[in-house]
Amino acid sequence: MSSQRLSNKVAIITGSSQGIGREICNQFSEEGALVVCSDLRPLGQGNDVATHEAITKKGGKAIFVSTDVSKADDWKALIAKTVQEFGRVDILVNNAGICTEANKPAPIDEVDEDAFDAHLRINSRGVFLGCKYVIQQMKKQEIHQSSGLRGWIVNFASMVSNIGMAGLTGYTASKGAVSAMTKTIALDVAKQGIVVNAICPGFTKTAMLDNALGAGASTDGGALGSSAARDAVLAALPRGRFGEAKDHARAAVYLASDDAAWVTGILLNVDGGLTAQ
Please list the active-site residues.
171
Q: Report the alpha-carbon distance of residue 24 to residue 237 in Å, rounded.
A: 23
Q: Report the alpha-carbon distance of residue 199 to residue 205 in Å, rounded.
A: 16
- Return all residues near 215 (Cβ < 8 A) that are at least 6 apart: 223, 224, 225, 226
What is each CA distance from 201 to 81, 95, 205, 237, 245, in whole angstroms? 30, 11, 11, 13, 10
Sheet containing strand 194-201, strands side by side:
62-66, 34-39, 10-14, 91-94, 151-156, 194-201, 267-270
The neighbouring-strand residues paired with 267 are 198
